Structure 1
Amino acid sequence: MSNDLLTKPQDGVYEEVGLATKLREGTKKAHTMAENVGFVKCFLKGVVEKESYRKLLGNFYFIYSALEEEFERHRRHPVLKALYLPELWRKESLEQDMAYYFGPNWRNTIAPSPVGKEYVECIRHLSNTDPDLLVAHSYTRYLGDLSGGQILKNIAIRAMGLEGSQGTAFYEFAEIPDAKAFKTAYREALDQLPVSSEKADAIVAEANAAFKLNMRLFNELEGNLIKAIGVMLFNSLTRRRGAGSTELTPAAE
């Protein structure tokens, strides 16, 4: 069954709305909220504290590893197979960054934070009980990485004085030379997924839950950031609430 819905605009002509549009429209509020988390606002203003940043990447390593392992497990699943796209996968890139930030013994050094562990458990649980909902986690993370990745990479390089591509492999998509075209094809694939309207709504709800998990990951890091830059500077950087560009956090279009 198609995931398309029928909506009736002012001219009275019905038109179809697919899953990609439902996800974009249904997560706008969460998107803006994510961009207004203190850690993200500081990052976008060029204030990046290395210890917090490497802890975030450490969590991402466990989260992406889980997500990609479950997509591998379900690579022939009738819904997930269309989004089985190894060119998006971040595990190997994050392994490079882990070695840079934590040294050659990084596998015995890093561990997920409490929220990072919860995030991983959520992905594993969905894979075992309702794999269709993994679509939400793919959408939330990978499209955001493609949309704002290069901007975030450049901010990180300037803020932490990095050289070349050291410490920023996470943002490199060597197998995707045209991010805009890839995102268009990805959204088209979303619209062709064989899910019902009810399941599409559940995927949107799960995408919003994924945004909340990401916000909680960011919130975990604010203590380290405040300690590093000072309470007064942190408050001055995060005082004003912006509308959100929807271009620099998960699932940006």
Structure 2
Amino acid sequence: MNPADIENTPASKLLKSGTQIAHDLVAQSPTAMRLLSAQMPFATFVKYTIWLHELYDTLEASIQKMSSDPHLSPLNRLDVLARAPALKSDLTNLLSPSVKDLNLEKGEGNWRDHPFAVAVLKQLPSSLQTYRDRIRSATGLQLASHAYVRYLGDLSGGQIIQRKLGKAYMLEDLDAKQFYDFPPLDPSQEYPANAAEVKNIKGWFRHSLDIIAQSVEEKTILIDEASKAFIFNSDMFIDLEKHHVTAPELYLPGSEPAIQTQTLSPQTSYLKVLIALVLLVVIGYYKFM
């Protein structure tokens, strides 16, 4: 695309076309057909949720720190977008019933004190560390790119995943689906945001991106950093296969608990489904916008 076309095209549309390869990776993958089968171990699901918390905690701390940056301020609605508090609540409730002898009641205590969480947090993958370091060093405009990749995916693909995986992992029973619920833009409206309001949030987000980046240089920076964010996410997904964590085994309520510890090395078929799932969260808005 030549500079004139870039200048005349809204940033949100350029971002969509500029990350089309990532979209095709999911759309053309046979694993997407098995996406809704929920064939991943519960422990892998919780491990990835912990990784997500650490990622969002870093992203949202950086957004808060740079909230006055003119390239970021139009998107500074952490009251709507922030996912780290929701993930904290979900993790507390996901982990609370999984070890009978642990004095951690549902909705109380610190999820980081759970033996499984302690083990996972001590063995975070290098891909996640690299991703977080990049976010910490990002400019306001670059942070907007990272917010775009994560939040628009959560607002689209995440809504589908909530419905499909809720039953498999008892998310409703465990009160562990806050990650998928967004507040409305207007706090006087009902929580969580319904489908129409989620669409409004996505529209507001894209419009904010168009305000943030108007020059060719600004749009180029936005697209380049979004492309890097997709790579960081892909690297993190790959680590679900090669980065094993030695931790206490987890089980869903009603399942027989295991006494011994084990290494989290899910079977390849499970991992393919999980990789497709988290990719869909990142870029699902393309298909369901």
Q: Normalising by the residue count of structure 2, what TM-score does the alignment of the two structures yield?
A: 0.70
2:111 is equivalent to residue 106 of structure 1: yes
Q: Which amino acid aligns with 1:118?
A: T
SS in 2 for 1:160: coil
- What is residue 47 of structure 1 aligned with on the other side? 39
2:93 is equivalent to residue 97 of structure 1: no
- What is residue 7 of structure 1 aligned with on the other side? 5
Distance 1:102 1:36 in 2: 35
2:209 to 159, 182, 190: 190
CA contact (8 A) 1:116 1:217 kept: yes
Cα shift at 1:179: 0.8
CA contact (8 A) 2:11 2:213 kept: no
Give the % identical residues: 26
Structure 1 outlier segments of 4+, above 4 Å:
34-42, 223-228
Cα shift at 1:34: 5.1
Cα shift at 1:92: 0.7
Distance 1:28 1:44 in 2: 23
Cα distance per residue 1:96-151 (max 9 Å; x no partner):
1121233444224252332222211110011xxx3311111000000000011221
2:217 is equivalent to residue 212 of structure 1: no
CA contact (8 A) 1:40 1:218 kept: no
- What is residue 133 of structure 2 aligned with on the other side? 121
SS in 2 for 1:92: helix
Q: Which amino acid aligns with 1:98?
A: L
Cα shift at 1:65: 0.8
SS in 2 for 1:75: coil
Distance 1:154 1:27 in 2: 26
Cα shift at 1:41: 6.4
Residues 209 and 78 from structure 1, CA distance in 2 versus in 1: closer, same or farther, beyond 3 angstroms?
Answer: same
- What is residue 81 of structure 1 aligned with on the other side? 73
CA contact (8 A) 2:11 2:210 kept: yes
Cα shift at 1:37: 7.3
Residues 219 and 194 from structure 1, CA distance in 2 versus in 1: closer, same or farther, beyond 3 angstroms?
Answer: closer
Distance 1:169 1:29 in 2: 30
Distance 2:50 2:32 in 1: 17
Contiguous gaps of at least 5 residues in structure 2: 97-108, 186-192, 245-262
The structure whose RCO (Cα within 8 Å, separation 6+) is larger is 1
CA contact (8 A) 1:79 1:195 kept: no
Question: Where do residues 53-64 of structure 1 align in structure 2 (5 Å cutoff)?
Answer: 53-64=45-56
- What is residue 152 of structure 2 aligned with on the other side? 143
Distance 2:239 2:37 in 1: 19
Cα shift at 1:31: 2.5
Cα distance per residue 1:66-123 (max 9 Å; x no partner):
1111111111111100010111110110101121233444224252332222211110
CA contact (8 A) 1:59 1:116 kept: yes
Contiguous gaps of at least 5 residues in structure 1: 9-14, 239-243
Q: Normalising by the residue count of structure 1, what TM-score does the alignment of the two structures yield?
A: 0.79
Residues 55 and 222 from structure 1, CA distance in 2 versus in 1: closer, same or farther, beyond 3 angstroms?
Answer: same
SS in 1 for 2:4: strand
Cα shift at 1:165: 6.1
Deviates more, 1:36-45 or 1:152-161: 36-45
C-alpha root-mean-square deviation of aligned residues, in Å? 3.1
Cα shift at 1:63: 0.9
Q: Which amino acid aligns with 1:26?
A: G
- What is residue 175 of structure 2 aligned with on the other side? 166
